[in-house]
């Protein structure tokens, strides 16, 4: 069994064992078992870091077996510089999420933890699949645990949110399924992504495929104007669900652009880049403004996620080294930062049971340690230099200015909005005098929460100060992707 | 000419016939309330039939018997094997349910099911229009009696009446259509009819006239819109054990008769019947999915879900012949076969859970009866959820690959209208996802009703079979390759034998 299979199946096996033998009477054992499972799953991904070759764009750690011979579908896994960090990020966030759900979840603990472990394995599968149908199966399978997580442990309006999440994303990906089957026929019965990357296609076909992929990935990212499901879902999802959704599931969509849209339909991608850039700028600016007027902290962070993901898609469709790499860096950074933001809201919610900004004020007086963490993550969310949030945004803006000054200017202006809504929320929640009774009696974070937040804080700072390990890994693959996109595939 | 080969071709049928009669007699002496001996013998017989059909099927030979009246070939043998397995599961799930409802005073539940399976086997084996028709009648007559087994229950008898009248009408359609085709071609043998049509010496109008009736009759049996009206009422009215007995194994036989008549007999008329099936498929997908949303009764909802699933199955059937060329036939018909097998597997799991929840004097028919099932029994809620996600076609469950195979075969034709149909099917399956998800919602997101017992009692046999059933829906989703190859190989030998 290869390293990637180990990374995928270890958490899934732990999750299935939890589901099978866990009982509510043994909640404590279930928590510890889940933590062990998550840590083991993280440990098995570490040898990937040691064995990764930096100087090649070829797939590494390849595993390839027949899976469904009838349709020539293969169990084909591989990693390159683009997908590498997401495997580690997923395993890392899962550990944090297990710690986050330690006390907040009291009902059916084994199912909660099991769902997250299985979800983790499935998402790693998406990032490492090199067969389109394998990708699709993992991509869609993630919906099932997330649907249950939102629906069982979510807030008051959880059922609406769970259905909206499931049906919205299903609609997008079903159109992609038709596109995948079309490509299977067009490529002479192959679901191999590498074959599809070389397949010549006419402009009309490329355009149709591009929009079919767009339907799936734009919903998942989510891009304006199909982002409306995200705030609803974030508000109702439990803290861990929000964190995983923002930190990793959104990246599945952005990752899809790099694996499917750009290399399979390069001509259509260039042709429609203006549309993608326009939609991205709308997300960055308009959704940033929408975030500013939110009363609900989770909604605010949800809209801020849409805006930040706008930077990602903007970077991709500028077609420069800096832009694509910046987009990927932004994805990783947003994984840490948005996960951390949602966990911070979770810390407050566990104590006060309100997400309204107005229910708080002066939290710093009663929770100084926690506020220090919150400040760091808020700064990272605004893109302060020295934090993870800065690197990706700066690279994308630089690339945008090189491509077109006005696009760069529009993107850069969004930094101001980002700072505005994040800092304004910070001020209203954490600073000022204590006016609410609930805030007066707040207990500062305990050791568990301290551990959880410091794990993320270390990641945010490390990535902000030494971004080189992150960019080094992707250089060769990004350059190769751009060379590929620059060539016309018209036949 | 009756030689040894002839007997070999109907070996499974003989076992069933003899054992059904033996069990009927043995049952006279059985006194226990659960009919333990009858039950054991039934399972034993079915197990024997499974082994025999599986070994015949894996041999891969095609053999004709009784002057080509019957045929034994891989597709038929596999379908028989799965039908026998399906009936085994039905009997296991259904026995406690039937016992609680006073349906086990005699052993009819077991023997009638076996006679119904015998009819299904004859339908699958038949290579002659009259044999096929006899098998169909045998199967449905046993089913009518099964539905009416609770003769003091008003809804059940009403359902039986409705089923009987409409079923008889459909049989009439079918028989009339077959007689027209006989009149035009001068033969009842499936292969001879094929050759006669290919020779172009027969009157096309008469053939197509007969074909319309044949398709209508078959659509009745499958439950395709607009011939679906009986299905929700019968599913709803029949005791749940019987609903499963007519909803699972007979679907495999219905698929077989579709293959024998439309493909092996009338493939040269594919252009005509594919058009008819297209209309039926589109209507079934629309009506089935939309009407299912409005149902509050679980069994009615599953009936409409069946209608929509049959629509998908028919979609695969319309992609077999393109411009008179049958290059795509193997892929299309094997997709349909995979679809029907996995559909039956999933249906078994779903009805198994429903029957488990039913107790004495409580039917568990409403969707709300499933509320909070996850808190009462995570295992059974899990089986039901796996079934629902599979019917909705969400990977990694087996229902997804069934839909994938059908979509693939539609796109393989490279016909624009079939591409449009594929997109349409995908979009209505999104509608379908809604009502399947609603079941999951009720089970997982809601609290159990106050009157429901905290745990669910089940016999060991039910628990084991249901767990295996659920695990298969998931396991075949992870590794569907084997079953797909099996269907593909079975169809390749059938397609090769066309016109012989």
Q: Does A153 touch chain B (CB under 8 A)?
A: no
Residue B84 pLDDT > 90, yes or no? yes
Mean pLDDT of the B239-252 span: 92
Sign of CA dihedral B385, B390, B394, B395: positive
Q: What is the pLDDT of residue B153?
A: 86
Question: Which residue from B minimizes the CA distance to A67?
Answer: B481
Burial of B190 (0-12, 13-18, 19+ CB in 10 A): buried
Q: What's the gap in Å between the CA of B446 and the closest CA on chain A?
A: 8
Nearest CB among A69, A162, A178 relative to B422 is that of A178
| Cα–Cα distances in angstroms (integers) from residue A150 to residues A145, A193, A401, B385, B486, in the given order | 9, 32, 40, 16, 39
Neighbours of A39 (CB within 10 A): 14
Q: What is the DSSP string of A307-339?
A: HHHHHHHHHHTTTSHHHHHHHHHHHHHHHHHHH
pLDDT per residue as tens digits for the range B121-146 = 999 999 999 999 999 999 999 999 99
Place of tokens 């390293």: A3
Surface of B (420-479) touching A: CB under 8 A: 422-423, 426-427, 429-430, 433-434, 437, 440-441, 444-445, 479
In a structure prediction context, what are the per-residue pLDDT tens digits for chain A, which is 491 residues long? Answer: 788 898 999 999 999 998 888 777 788 888 898 899 999 999 998 888 888 888 888 888 889 988 988 888 999 999 988 888 899 999 999 999 998 888 888 888 888 999 999 999 999 999 999 999 999 999 999 999 999 999 888 878 888 888 888 988 888 888 889 899 989 988 888 899 888 888 888 888 899 999 999 989 998 888 888 888 888 888 888 888 899 998 899 999 999 999 998 899 888 988 898 999 999 998 888 888 898 888 888 899 999 999 889 889 999 998 888 889 999 999 999 999 999 999 999 888 888 888 888 888 888 888 888 889 999 999 998 888 888 888 888 889 999 998 889 988 888 888 888 888 999 888 888 888 888 888 788 888 888 888 889 999 999 999 888 888 888 888 888 888 888 888 877 76
Q: What's the gap in Å between the CA of A262 and the closest CA on chain B?
A: 23
Q: What is the pLDDT of residue A130?
A: 92
Q: Determine the Cα–Cα distance for residues B159 and B153; give it in Å rounded to an integer.
A: 10
Alpha helices for B10-107 (secondary structure H): 11-27, 36-59, 74-100
* C-beta of residue B312 within 8 angstroms of C-beta of residue B404: no
Q: Does A482 touch chain B (CB under 8 A)?
A: no
* C-beta of residue A389 within 8 angstroms of C-beta of residue A457: no
Q: What is the pLDDT of residue B364?
A: 76
What's the token pair of residue B475?
A: 């396991």
Q: Does B374 touch chain A (CB under 8 A)?
A: yes
Residues from chain B contacting residue A162 (CB–CB below 8 Å): 441, 445
How many residues appear in chain B? 500
Residues from chain A contacting residue B404 (CB–CB below 8 Å): 71, 133, 177, 181
Residue B449 pLDDT > 70, yes or no? yes
Question: Which residue from B minimizes the CA distance to A212?
Answer: B423
Q: Does A167 touch chain B (CB under 8 A)?
A: yes
What's the token pair of residue A487?
A: 């060539």
Of A132-146, A407-421, B154-168, B379-393, give the lowest mean pLDDT range: A407-421
Q: Determine the Cα–Cα distance for residues A161 and A237; give it in Å rounded to an integer.
A: 8
Burial of B63 (0-12, 13-18, 19+ CB in 10 A): middle
Q: Does B492 touch chain A (CB under 8 A)?
A: no
Nearest CB among A67, A162, A181 relative to B408 is that of A181
pLDDT per residue as tens digits for the range B464-499 = 999 999 999 999 988 998 999 999 999 998 888 887
Residues from chain B contacting residue A185 (CB–CB below 8 Å): 408, 411-412, 414
Name the pTM for this structure.
0.92
Q: What's the gap in Å between the CA of B421 and the closest CA on chain A?
A: 11
What's the token pair of residue B290?
A: 């939309």
Question: Which residue from A minimizes the CA distance to B476?
Answer: A68
Q: Determine the Cα–Cα distance for residues B165 and B161; give it in Å rounded to an integer.
A: 6
Q: What is the pLDDT of residue B33?
A: 80
* C-beta of residue A431 within 8 angstroms of C-beta of residue A71: no
Q: What is the pLDDT of residue A52?
A: 85
A147:B408 CB<8 A: no
Neighbours of A441 (CB within 10 A): 11
Residue among B127, B124, B166, B126 nearest B143 (CA): B166
| Cα–Cα distances in angstroms (integers) from residue B463 to residues A10, A185, A356, B45, B177, in the given order | 28, 43, 48, 21, 45
Q: Determine the Cα–Cα distance for residues A262 and B371; give it in Å rounded to an integer.
A: 46
Q: Determine the Cα–Cα distance for residues A63 and A52; give it in Å rounded to an integer.
A: 15
Q: How many angstroms separate the most distant Cα atoms in chain B?
A: 71
Q: What is the pLDDT of residue A175?
A: 85
Q: What's the gap in Å between the CA of B430 and the closest CA on chain A?
A: 7
Mean pLDDT of the B263-288 span: 92
Residues from chain A contacting residue B405 (CB–CB below 8 Å): 70-71
Reading phi first (left if > 0) and then psi (alpha if -120 to 50, else beta), residue B229 is in: alpha
A159:B426 CB<8 A: no
Q: Domain boundaries in chain B?
A: 4-496
Q: Determine the Cα–Cα distance for residues A443 and A311; give it in Å rounded to an integer.
A: 37
B444:A152 CB<8 A: yes
Q: Does A159 touch chain B (CB under 8 A)?
A: yes
Residue B500 pLDDT > 80, yes or no? no
Reading phi first (left if > 0) and then psi (alpha if -120 to 50, else beta), residue B325 is in: beta
B423:A159 CB<8 A: no
Residues 6+ apart with CB under 8 A from B353: B380, B383, B384, B387, B466
Nearest CB among A70, A163, A177 relative to B426 is that of A177
Question: Which residue from A minimizes the CA distance to B377?
Answer: A23
B429:A69 CB<8 A: no
Helix-helix angle B329-357:B249-258, to 10 degrees: 160
Q: What is the pLDDT of residue A355?
A: 85
- 3-class SS at B453? coil
Looking at chain B, the whole-number percentage of residues with pLDDT higher than 70 is 99
Q: Tell me the ipTM for this assembly.
A: 0.90
Q: What is the pLDDT of residue B119?
A: 95
The dihedral over CA atoms of A121, A126, A131, A136, expressed in degrees to the nearest 10, equals 110
Q: Determine the Cα–Cα distance for residues A53 and B59; give it in Å rounded to an integer.
A: 50
- 3-class SS at A406? helix
Residue among B154, B86, B120, B109 nearest B13 (CA): B120
């Amino acid at each position: 069994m290869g390293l990637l299979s180990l990374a995928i199946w270890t958490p899934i096996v732990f999750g299935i064992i939890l589901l099978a033998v866990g009982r509510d009477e043994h909640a404590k054992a279930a928590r510890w078992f889940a933590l062990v499972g998550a840590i083991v799953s993280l440990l098995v991904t570490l040898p990937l870091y040691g064995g990764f070759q930096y100087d090649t764009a070829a797939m590494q750690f390849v595993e390839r077996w027949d899976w469904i011979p009838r349709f020539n579908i293969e169990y084909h896994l591989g990693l390159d510089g683009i997908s590498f960090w997401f495997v580690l990020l997923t395993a890392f966030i899962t550990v944090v999420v297990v710690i986050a759900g330690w006390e907040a979840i009291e009902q059916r603990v084994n199912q909660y933890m099991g769902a997250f472990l299985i979800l983790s394995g499935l998402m790693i599968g998406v990032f490492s699949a090199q067969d389109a149908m394998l990708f699709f199966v993992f991509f869609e399978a993630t919906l099932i645990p997330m649907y249950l997580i939102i629906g069982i442990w979510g807030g008051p309006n959880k059922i609406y949110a769970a259905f909206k999440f499931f049906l919205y994303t299903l609609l997008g990906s079903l159109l992609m399924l038709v596109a995948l089957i079309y490509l299977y026929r067009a490529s002479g019965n192959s679901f191999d992504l590498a074959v599809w990357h070389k397949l010549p296609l006419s402009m009309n076909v490329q355009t149709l495929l591009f929009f079919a992929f767009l339907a799936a990935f734009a919903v998942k990212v989510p891009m304006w104007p199909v982002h409306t499901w995200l705030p609803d879902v974030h508000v109702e999802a439990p803290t861990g669900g929000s964190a995983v959704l923002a930190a990793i599931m959104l990246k599945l969509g952005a990752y899809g652009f790099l694996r499917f849209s750009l290399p399979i339909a390069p001509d259509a991608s260039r042709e429609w880049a203006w549309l993608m850039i326009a939609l991205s700028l709308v997300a960055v600016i308009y959704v940033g403004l929408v975030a500013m007027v939110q009363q609900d902290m989770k909604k605010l962070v949800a809209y801020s996620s849409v805006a930040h993901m706008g930077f990602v898609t903007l970077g991709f469709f500028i077609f420069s080294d800096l832009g694509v790499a910046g987009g990927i860096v932004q994805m990783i950074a947003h994984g840490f930062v948005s996960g951390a933001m949602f966990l911070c809201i979770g810390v407050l919610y566990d104590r006060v049971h309100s997400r309204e900004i107005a229910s708080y004020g002066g939290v710093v007086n009663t929770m100084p340690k926690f506020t220090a963490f919150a400040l760091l993550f808020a700064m990272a969310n605004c893109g302060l230099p020295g934090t993870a949030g800065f690197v990706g945004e700066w690279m994308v803006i630089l690339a945008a200015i090189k491509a077109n000054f006005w696009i760069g200017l529009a993107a850069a202006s969004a930094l101001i909005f980002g700072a505005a809504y994040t800092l304004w929320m910070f001020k209203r929640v954490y600073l000022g005098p204590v006016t609410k009774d609930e805030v007066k009696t707040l207990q500062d974070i305990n050791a568990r929460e301290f551990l959880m937040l410091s794990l993320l804080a270390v990641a945010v700072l490390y990535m902000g100060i030494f971004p080189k390990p992150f960019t080094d890994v992707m250089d060769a693959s990004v350059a190769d992707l751009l060379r590929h996109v620059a060539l016309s595939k018209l036949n | 000419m009756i030689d040894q080969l002839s007997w070999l071709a109907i070996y499974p049928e003989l076992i069933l016939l003899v054992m059904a009669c033996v069990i009927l007699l043995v049952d006279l002496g059985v006194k226990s309330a659960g009919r333990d001996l009858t039950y054991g013998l039934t399972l034993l017989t079915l197990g024997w039939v499974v082994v025999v059909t599986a070994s015949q099927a894996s041999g891969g030979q095609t053999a004709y018997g009784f002057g080509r009246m019957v045929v034994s070939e891989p597709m038929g043998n596999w379908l028989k094997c799965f039908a026998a397995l399906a009936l085994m599961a039905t009997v296991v799930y259904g026995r406690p349910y039937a016992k609680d409802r006073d349906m086990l005073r005699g052993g009819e539940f077991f023997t009638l099911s076996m006679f119904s399976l015998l009819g299904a086997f004859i339908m699958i084996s038949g290579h002659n229009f009259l044999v096929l028709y006899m098998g169909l009648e045998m199967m449905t007559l046993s089913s009518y009696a099964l539905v009416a087994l609770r003769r003091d229950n008003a809804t059940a008898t009403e359902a039986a009446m409705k089923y009987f009248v409409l079923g008889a009408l459909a049989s009439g359609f079918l028989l009339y259509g077959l007689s027209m085709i006989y009149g035009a071609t001068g033969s009842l043998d499936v292969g001879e009819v094929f050759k006669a049509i290919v020779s172009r010496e027969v009157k096309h109008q008469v053939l197509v006239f007969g074909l319309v009736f044949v398709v209508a009759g078959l659509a009745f049996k499958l439950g395709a819109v607009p011939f679906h009206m009986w299905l929700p009422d019968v599913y709803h009215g029949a005791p749940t054990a019987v609903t499963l007995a007519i909803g699972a194994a007979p679907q495999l036989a219905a698929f077989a008769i579709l293959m024998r008549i439309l493909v092996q007999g009338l493939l040269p008329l594919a252009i005509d019947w594919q058009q008819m099936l297209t209309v039926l498929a589109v209507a079934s997908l629309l009506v089935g999915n939309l009407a299912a949303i409005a149902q509050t009764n679980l069994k009615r909802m599953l009936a409409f879900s069946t209608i929509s699933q049959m629509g998908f199955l028919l979609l695969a059937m319309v992609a077999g012949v393109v411009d008179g060329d049958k290059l795509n036939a193997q892929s299309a018909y094997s997709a349909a076969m995979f679809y029907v097998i996995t559909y039956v597997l999933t249906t078994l799991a779903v009805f198994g859970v429903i029957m488990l929840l039913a107790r004495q004097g409580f039917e568990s028919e409403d969707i709300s009866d499933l509320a909070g099932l996850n808190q009462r029994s995570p295992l059974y809620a899990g089986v039901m959820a796996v079934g629902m996600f599979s019917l909705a076609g969400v990977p990694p469950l087996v229902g997804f690959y069934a839909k994938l195979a059908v979509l693939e075969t539609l796109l393989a034709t490279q016909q624009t209208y079939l591409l449009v149909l594929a997109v349409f099917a995908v979009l209505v399956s999104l509608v379908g996802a809604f009502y399947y998800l609603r079941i999951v919602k009720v089970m997982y997101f809601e609290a159990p009703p106050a009157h429901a017992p905290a745990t669910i009692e089940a016999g060991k046999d039910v628990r084991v079979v249901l767990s295996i059933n659920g695990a298969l829906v998931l396991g075949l989703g992870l590794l569907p390759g084997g079953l797909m190859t099996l269907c593909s190989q079975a169809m390749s030998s059938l397609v090769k034998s066309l016109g012989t």
